[in-house]
Structure 1
Amino acid sequence: MTPTETLAPTFSAVIRAQAALSLEVADYREVDDATLLEPRLSANQQRLANSLSAVLAGGVARRSAPAFGKNGLAQRTGHRTPEELFRATTGSTARDAITAIKIGQIASDTADAAAGVPVVDPATGELVASLLPWLHCVGRAVAAGTLPIAAAESIRNGLGRPSENVQQERLAEAAALLCDEASLLDADRLFRRARELRDELDEAGIVDREVARHEQRSLRLRRLPNGMARLVWDLDPETSASVGELYDRATSPRRGGPRFVSADAEAQEQCILADTRTTEQLASDVFVQLLRQGADADSSQLLGSGAPVVRVLVAATALATRHSRRTRASRSAGRRRLYRDDRAGRVCGSDHPDPPRRRRAAARCRA
C-alpha cells in the first residue's frame, strides 16, 4: 500500500478516537483528582499533533520551493507563499504558520540528510548535504513528537547561526543539550537558556549581537479605517528597560506590583486602583501625557515647537458649504421651535391664543 492509502485511514481513526472523549463541563466536575490531572496526557497529544503539523508544513514548503515556480503547490492553489497556504488550510495565525513552516523545514532537512539526499542552498544555488546541520537533533526530536514546535523555535532563534567564532559542531552540541533540557523548561525559559549558551560559546560576539538588537529598534504608526491608529514599537533592551519602568510605575498597582509605604505614594496607589479606566486605557493616557509634556519641555528634535497640536485641514469651499447647510438647518429648527402648530397656537412651547401675535412670530421666523 502507498503512504496515501495508509495515512488517510489513520488520520480518520485518530479523529474518531478524539471525538469519543466527552467535552461536557459537568462530566469533569464529578471526577476524582487523578482523572482531573489527565491534561498531561492531553498535552502529550497536543505535542504529537504539533509535530504532525510541522512535518506536514515541511512537506508543503518542499513542494512549494521557488525552483518549482508556478508549478509549486502554493502557487497552484492560488497562494503566494507556503506560509499563506498553510495558514489558509489550517486556520492558524500568520505567526503560527511561519513557525510551523520553519520547523517543518528543519525536520525535512534532517530527513534528507539522513537519507543522503542533497538539497539546494537558496543563497548559492549549490547542492549541499544539509542546510541546517547543527539543528538535526531538533529536527529528529520534532519528528519523534518529543519536542514541541514552540521549544524548537526557541532553540533555533536562541542559538542563531554559525559564525567565525562558533563552529557548527559546537552549536550542534548546544542544540542537543537544549533538547534534553526542553522537558524541564517552557519555551520562554528555553529561549533564554539558548541565548546564554550562545553567549558562552561566542563571548567575542556579545557586543555584535547587542548592536544587532539595537539596530532592530523601530516605531511604526498605522492608520486604521475607523479613524483610530495602532502604534507598533519594537524596543531594544535598553529602551525596553526605561519604557518598562515607566509602564510599571503607571500600572503596577493594577497588576499586583510592589506596594508603597509613604503616605503620598500610597495615596497615588489608591488613586490608580480606583481609576475607572482599564489598565490599557490608563497606560495609554499616561504615555500620551508624558509625550506631550516632553515635547513641550524640549522640542529640539521636532518640527515646530511646543506640545503637539491637532490641526484639521479642510477645503474652503467645503467649509462654506457646510456653514451654509448649518445655517439653513438652524433656521429650520428655529421655525419648528417657534411655530410648531398654527392651529393649536403654540410658539416656543407656550400657548398664544392671539392669532395676530402668532402670525407675527411666524413671519419673523420666515424672514
Structure 2
Amino acid sequence: MAFFSELAQHLEVLRDALGGDVEAEQLPLALDRLSDDGVVAALEAATGLVRAGEKVRIAASGAAAARSTREAGHTGLAQKRGHRNPASLIQEITGATRAEAAKHVRLGESLRTLAGIDPGRDAMTDASDPAVPPYEGAGAGVGVGPGPRAGVGAGGEPEPWHAPLGRALLAGAIGSAQHDAILRGLGEPPEPDPVATSGEDDGLDAVARAREAWREAWMLAAEQLIAEARERTVEELGRAARTIRDQLDPAGAQRRFDQRFEGRAFRLWRDADGVRRGSIVFDDLGGAWAQTIWDSALRPRRGGPRFVDSEEKARAEELVADPRTNDQLAYDLFLDLLCAGALADAATVFGARQAGVRIVVPADAIVQERSGAPAVALVEDDQTVLPAWLAAQHMCHTATRHVTVDGGGNPLDLGREARLYRPKQKIALAIRDGGCRWRGCDRPASYCEAHHIDEWVRDEGRTDIDRGILLCRFHHMELHHGGWRITREGLGDFVLHPPPGRGDPLVLVPRLALRLAVFDIEPPPRRFRLAG
C-alpha cells in the first residue's frame, strides 16, 4: 500500500472510532465513551499511524546522518545547526532520549543500505544538484519502484543480511523496537579467516562462499525472527536473536562468554552520605544462578506457580503476607546466602523451593564438545547460551535427565498416566515449551504450571506430555475462568481458542530458539575458521 494511502486508512478508522473530529482536550472523554471493541480499534489505528510516521522519522534520520559525517565538517547538516552529531539533532527535534535518537540513526542507516544507497555517496551535494538523478535501486524491495530482484541489491550485489528487517519495517510487519531488537541481537555475521583457506586452490572463492553462507544464515534467522515477532515481547525477541546468533556461531559464542567472564566484577563503596552501596557485573553462569535464586525465593510474590503440597503452600502464603518489599526481601536473602553459604536451609532461606540452574544440552553438542569443536547449551528458563564445555563440567557433579524429542521438539519417552504432571514430565515440558506458551507472554518455565488440554475428569484426559502445555499462573487461570480453551490434533500445533465473539483461534508457536536447538537452521560449514 502506498504510504499516504496507508495514513489515510488509519485516519479513517480512527475518525470512525471517535465519531468524527474531536478537540484534543476532549480525547480522554471521547475514548472513555467507547465500547471495549472501540477502544481496541482506536488503539490499533493510532498504533498504525505512529508506525507509519516512524518510518519517515527513521528514514529521515538516516538521511540526516549521511549528511552529517565527520568528513562534512562544519558544513554537515547537524553541524550547521549547532550539533556535534545527527543523534543530537534528532534528539532536539523529536524530544526522544539519546538512546532512542541513536536507534533512529542506526535503523535509518540500515534502511539506506537496503535501498541500495552507496554509503560513500555525497548525499548533501547530490540532494542539492538537480542534475543528479535519483540513485539507482533506491526503491529496492521497499515498494518504491520495481528495484532489483529479492536477495540482490543495487548493481547486482547481494542484499545485506538485514534486508528482510528493513522491508518488514517499511511494510508495517514489525515496529522499530522489534527491528532494533533483532538487528542488535543478531549482530553482524562472522568474517571467515582467509588464513584458514590459504592452502586451498580456490582459497579466495572458498572465503567468498563461506561469507555468503554466513550472510544467508543470518538472513534466514532474521526472516524467522520477523515471523516470531507477533508472538513475543520485544525483550524476548532480543533474547531469542542473541541465542540464535550464538547457536549459529558457537565459536563466537565462546569468545563472547569469555569477554563477559573477564568483565565480571563486584564493587562496594560509600556514597556522600556514608551509605554503603554495591554493584555487580555478572558473568553468564553467575547471572543465571543469581536470577534463579532470586526467582525461587520471590516466586510466590511475583506470580509463580501455585503450590499443592500443604507445607510449601503454607510457606508461600507466609511470604506473600510478609510486610517487606521485594527489594528488601532480596537484600535479606542476599545476606542470608552470604552468611549461610552452601549449607543454606531451603525452608529458611528459599521459602518454598530451592533454587537451581537447569541447562539444556542437545546430544550433538556433547559429541561436538568431546571432539574439541565449539558447541553451545541453553539455560532452560531464558535460553541464555553457555559453552557446551561448561555444561559438561557441571554434569560431572550434578544430576542429569535424558530427554528424547522428535523433530518438532515433542518429548517421546517420559512418564504417563498420573493425575498431576511429575517432575520429570515438567522437565520435558520446559525443554519443549521454554516458558508460558500464551501469545506475547515471556514468563519462564520455572514460573509456569502444567495444563491438561483434555480435562482430567470431564474428558477423561491423560497426564501425557503430548496433552500438556506450560502456562503461567495468570494465563492458566484466565484459560479456566475466562472461557478460553486449547486443542491439539495429534502432535500438531497447540491452538488457543478465544471465547465466542473474541476473534479467531491462534496457533501457539513454540519458541524459535528452542526449535533451532533441535532442528531448523544449520550453521554454515564448520571447515572455515572464524577470525579472532
Query: In which range does the TM-score fall when normalised by the shorter chain?
Result: 0.5 to 0.7
Deviations 1:38-67 (A, max 9, x none): 122222222223323322322332233222
Alpha carbons 2:69, 2:76 under 8 Å: kept: yes
In structure 2, the CA distance between the partners of 1:59 and 1:281, relative to structure 1 (3 Å rule), is: farther
Q: 1:82 aligns with which of 82, 86, 89?
A: 86
* Aligned equivalent of 1:139: 166
1:188 aligns with 2:215: no
Higher mean Cα deviation, 182-191 or 221-230?
221-230
Higher RCO (CA < 8 A, seq sep 6+): 2
Alpha-carbon spacing, 1:202–1:260, altered in 2? closer, same or farther (3 Å): same
State the shift of 1:255 in Å.
1.0
Residue 65 of structure 2 aligns with which residue?
A: 61
State the distance in 2 between where 1:279 and 1:194 align: 30
Match of 2:283 in 1: 236
Q: 1:72: which partner in 2? A: 76
Deviation at 1:279, TM superposition (A): 1.6
1:31 equivalent in structure 2: 34
Matched, 1:150 2:177: yes
Deviation at 1:231, TM superposition (A): 5.0
Q: 1:101-159, CA deviations, whole angstroms, 9 ceiling, x for partnerless residues? A: 21122112323x2x456459xxxxxxx99999222332343344443111111221232
Structure in which a larger fraction of residues adopt helix: 1
Match of 2:188 in 1: 161
Q: Is the 8 A contact 1:138 1:152 kept in 2?
A: yes
Give the Cα–Cα distance (whole angstroms) in 2 for the partners of residues 21 and 145 of structure 1. 26
Q: Counterpart in 2 of 1:275? A: 322
What is the identity, as a one-letter code, of the residue corresponding to 1:249? S
Whether the 8 Å CA contact 1:220–1:231 is kept in 2: the answer is: yes
RMSD (CA atoms): 4.1
Cα distance in 2 for partners of 1:85, 1:292 equals 52
- After superposing the two structures, state which structure 1 stretch, 265-274 or 224-233, moved more: 224-233
What aligned pairs does 1:172-211 form with structure 2 within 5 A after superposition? 172-195=219-242, 197-199=244-246, 201-211=248-258
Deviations 1:237-272 (A, max 9, x none): 311221112212332221122345666655543442
Aligned-partner Cα distance in 2 for 1:107–1:96: 16
In structure 2, relative to structure 1, the CA distance for the partners of 1:284 and 1:110 (3 Å cut) is same
Give the counterpart letter for 1:59 in structure 2: A
Deviation at 1:21, TM superposition (A): 6.6
Seq. identity, %: 32
Partner of 1:40: 44
* Deviation larger for 52-61 or 98-107: 52-61
CA positional deviation for 1:209: 4.2
Q: Which runs of 5+ in 1 are unaligned?
A: 1-6, 121-127, 298-367
Pair 1:211–1:292, CA change in 2 (3 A):
same
* TM-score under structure 1 length normalisation: 0.59
Alignment CA distance shift 1:193-1:273 (3 Å): closer
Task: Give the aligned partner of residue 112 of structure 2.
Answer: 108
- Say whether the 8 Å CA contact 2:264–2:282 is kept in structure 1: yes
User: Residue in 1 aligned with 2:515?
Assistant: none
Partner of 2:297: 250
TM-aligned CA deviation for residue 206 of structure 1: 4.1
Q: Residue 150 and residue 226 in structure 1: after superposition, are their counterparts in 2 closer, same or farther (change >3 A)?
A: farther
Structure 2 Cα separation of the partners of residues 225 and 91 of structure 1: 32
In 1, Cα distance between the equivalents of 2:279 and 2:225? 32
Deviates more, 1:261-270 or 1:240-249: 261-270
Contact 1:134 1:169 in 2 (8 A): yes
* CA displacement 1:188-229 (0-9 Å, x = unmatched): 343344345434543554434443444454556687667667
One-letter code aligned to 1:37? V
Q: 1:206 to 1:82 in 2, by over 3 A?
A: same
Given that residues 107 and 142 in structure 1 are in contact (C-alpha distance below 8 angstroms), is that contact kept between their aligned partners in structure 2? no
Question: Matches of 2:160 and 2:220 in 1, distance apart?
Answer: 11
Would you say the 8 A contact 2:181–2:234 is kept in 1? yes
How many residues are matched? 274
Q: Which amino acid aligns with 2:95?
A: G
2:66 touches 2:119 (CA, 8 Å); kept in 1?
A: no
C-alpha separation in 1, matches of 2:339 and 2:23: 59
- For structure 2, list consecutive stretches of 5 or more residues without a partner in the other structure: 16-20, 123-153, 193-209, 345-532
C-alpha distance in 2 between matches for 1:146 and 1:55: 17
* 1:27 Cα deviation from its structure 2 partner: 3.0
- How many angstroms apart in 1 are the aligned matches of 2:90 and 2:270? 28
* 8 A Cα contact 2:161 2:215, kept in partner: yes
Q: What SS is found at the alignment partner of 2:54?
A: helix
Kept in 1: contact 2:113–2:119 (CA 8 A): no
Letter in 1 for 2:44: R
> 2: distance between equivalents of 1:131 and 1:226?
59
Larger Rg: 1
Contact 2:266-2:280 at 8 Å conserved across structures? yes
Structure 2 counterpart of 1:138, which letter?
L
Structure 1 residue identity aligned to 2:290: V
Moved more, 251-260 or 195-204: 195-204
TM-score under structure 2 normalisation? 0.43
Q: What code does the residue aligned with 2:288 have?
A: A
Residues 54-106 of structure 1: CA distance to partner in whole angstroms, max 9, x if unpaired?
22322332233222234434444444443333333322223322222211221
